[in-house]
Amino acid sequence: MLKKEKKLSHLIYENPLISRYASQEMSQIWSAQKKHSTWRRLWVALAESQHEMGLPVTAAQVESLRAAVDDIDFEVAAREEKKRRHDVMAHVHTYGERCPDAQAIIHLGATSCFVTDNSELIMIRESLEQVRKRLVSVIDQLANFAQEYHDLPCLGFTHLQPAQPTTVGKRATLWCYDLILDLEEIEYRLEKLRFRGVKGTTGTQATFLQLFQGDHAKVDELDRRVTEKMGFAERYAVTGQTYSRKVDAQVLSALSGIGQSAHKAGNDVRLLQNRKELEEPFEKHQIGSSAMAYKRNPMRSERMCSLARFAISLTSNAEDTAATQWMERTLDDSANRRLSLPQSFLAIDAVLILYRNIVDGMVVYPKVIEKHLNEELPFMATEEFLMAGVEAGGDRQELHELIRVHSQAAGTQVKVHGGKNDLIERLQKDPAFKDCDLNSALDARKYIGRAPEQVDAFLAEIIEPVRQKYQADLQQSVEDLKV
């Protein structure tokens, strides 16, 4: 049977997020076993609370249900769903077959969203916690990278044009701070995530009010008890049949934020690898191209950007779903959310695995960085040249014009003739600068401002508190890429 299933798996589509990219931990959170075991845990919590509050549910029935939480016959469930065309009722009957003594009280007073929505909120919470762990891990490793290269000067860019120098470490803090902002957003979403609770068919709790013979306090107490048994401190204040789909939109927006940060950093790495200043890990037997054997393509960064873009695109699904709900609920959210919720988490999980892998093995080439910086440095040092000329007795306006003319001539030498930047030589030959020490102006460290100090302050003020708060998460092992 196992061999047959293995053969068949090659004949049908498999989601590459599961088979190629995401972790087993995240995949398991969104598995059928996890989902339907959580449904059963919810039914146990409901039955147990109803028993405690005097409804006709016995302790023996509760224990019977509890003993079978993970014992799910998925073949029976599939058969029931095919017959009933309703997944929740299919699992009610499957559970009832397994626990015939408790069959009569399963799902008592509840609507389908009692199990579907509440279980999804539980899975969202666990997934956010998993994302937070990975996020902290990447932040920590990026911070180590920033520390190592905090004072290595490199060419800065604005508009992708050479600009004032920065340092390799300072650039890494920009990537890292984006993730810090994402971490704050994930923490906020976890803090604000609540339980749907026991709300009934349209959110009015009418069936539970009937069960408790009009006792409003008992209905609220039932809601509170089930909420606490499932590990939540708070419930959403009001719901329709579902919790507000705005919650999904907010969660997927937070995941999109991580995708945006990773995509930005991934693009930077790809551009810097093109310049041969920095390189993502490249394994001994890795092949860059099937045709061009010499190539070292940045496949990890490209894959990270690709998956990040997919996660970003899913945000609009949640936004559209929230916007198009009708009255107390409509079912056109269901099929969409079965895709968009798990796949958003799986994609971002994969993105963060890739990000950590890239940072762990990042290679920096200081000599190439220095070469590129020196090619542009004469242009950036022109203000220093101007001040040196004035100190030597020159006229500021006349010197400015001379520098402008010589700079354009040097630019022509570089761009038209493919030569080197000879601005220094041109200025040294100009009588107006004969008494100036121009070479001393070509020390790149003169132009990096407070970049090294900014890195040090960032690590001390921003990173260290994160490390202290999530110390346990930083001890997790780094996963190898699946492919």
Helix, coil or strand: residue 19: helix
For 19-47, what is the mean pLDDT?
Answer: 95
For 255-276, what is the mean pLDDT?
Answer: 96
What is the residue-averaged pLDDT of the chain? 90
Considering the domain architecture, whether residues 36 and 161 belong to the same structural domain is answered as: no
Per-residue pLDDT tens over the stretch 147-193 = 999 999 999 999 998 888 999 999 999 999 999 999 999 999 999 99
Considering the domain architecture, whether residues 317 and 269 belong to the same structural domain is answered as: yes
Non-local (6+) Cβ contacts of 406 within 8 A are 423, 426, 427, 430
Of the residues 54, 82, 105, which one is the last residue of a structural domain? 105
**Residue of 9, 19, 289, 440 with catalytic role:** 289
Q: How far is CA 317 from the centre of its chain?
A: 17
What domain count does the chain have?
3
CATH number at residue 65: 1.10.275.10
Considering the domain architecture, whether residues 39 and 188 belong to the same structural domain is answered as: no
Looking at per-residue confidence, does 352 or 282 come out higher?
352
Considering the domain architecture, whether residues 273 and 411 belong to the same structural domain is answered as: no
Structural contact between residues 335 and 5, judged by C-beta atoms closer than 8 angstroms = no
Considering the domain architecture, whether residues 41 and 101 belong to the same structural domain is answered as: yes
Considering the domain architecture, whether residues 82 and 124 belong to the same structural domain is answered as: no
Q: Which amino acid is it at 270?
A: R
pLDDT band at 1 (very low <50, low <70, confident <90, very high): very low
pLDDT band at 281 (very low <50, low <70, confident <90, very high): confident
For 250-273, what is the mean pLDDT?
Answer: 97
Query: Is it the case that residue 259 has pLDDT exceeding 80?
Result: yes
pLDDT at residue 201 in the model: 92
Considering the domain architecture, whether residues 272 and 301 belong to the same structural domain is answered as: yes
Considering the domain architecture, whether residues 31 and 77 belong to the same structural domain is answered as: yes
| Domain membership flag for residue 453 | yes
Query: Is it the case that residue 292 has pLDDT exceeding 60?
Result: no
Looking at per-residue confidence, does 16 or 461 come out higher?
461
CATH number at residue 386: 1.10.40.30
Active site (annotated) includes residue 86 = no
Q: Please give the model's pTM, rounded to 2 decimal places.
A: 0.89
Which domain, by its residues, includes 462? 118-192+244-280+297-326+336-364+449-467
| Domain membership flag for residue 110 | no
| Domain membership flag for residue 276 | yes
Q: Which amino acid is it at 440?
A: S
Query: Is it the case that residue 447 has pLDDT exceeding 50?
Result: yes
Considering the domain architecture, whether residues 138 and 256 belong to the same structural domain is answered as: yes
| Domain membership flag for residue 198 | no
| Domain membership flag for residue 21 | yes
Structural contact between residues 369 and 277, judged by C-beta atoms closer than 8 angstroms = yes
- From CA 263, how far away is CA 258, in angstroms rounded? 8
- From CA 286, how far away is CA 288, in angstroms rounded? 7
Question: Taking phi first (over 0 means left), then psi (-120 to 50 degrees means alpha), and beta for anything else, what does residue 22 get?
Answer: beta
pLDDT at residue 258 in the model: 98
Q: Between the CA of residue 150 and those of 76, 147, 170, 457, what are the distances in Å?
A: 61, 5, 6, 11
| Domain membership flag for residue 482 | no
| Domain membership flag for residue 476 | no
| Domain membership flag for residue 289 | no
Helix axes 382-391, 396-415, angle to 10 degrees: 150
pLDDT at residue 118 in the model: 96
**pLDDT cut 70: percent of the chain above it:** 94
pLDDT at residue 429 in the model: 85
Q: How far is CA 148 from the centre of its chain?
A: 25
**Residue of 159, 290, 417, 477 with catalytic role:** 159
Show the tokens assigned to 281.
């890990």
Query: Is it the case that residue 2 has pLDDT exceeding 70?
Result: no
- From CA 21, how far away is CA 18, in angstroms rounded? 6
Considering the domain architecture, whether residues 358 and 306 belong to the same structural domain is answered as: yes
Of the residues 50, 77, 105, which one is the last residue of a structural domain? 105
Active site (annotated) includes residue 159 = yes
Considering the domain architecture, whether residues 184 and 253 belong to the same structural domain is answered as: yes
CATH number at residue 153: 1.20.200.10
pLDDT at residue 481 in the model: 60
pLDDT at residue 390 in the model: 86
User: For the chain, first and last CA: distance in Å?
Assistant: 27
- From CA 152, how far away is CA 167, in angstroms rounded? 5
Range of weakest confidence among 4-8, 97-101, 302-306, 341-345: 4-8
pLDDT at residue 131 in the model: 97
Helix, coil or strand: residue 330: coil
Considering the domain architecture, whether residues 343 and 250 belong to the same structural domain is answered as: yes
Q: Is the dihedral of CA 118, 217, 231, 347 positive or negative?
A: positive
Of the residues 105, 130, 155, which one is the last residue of a structural domain? 105
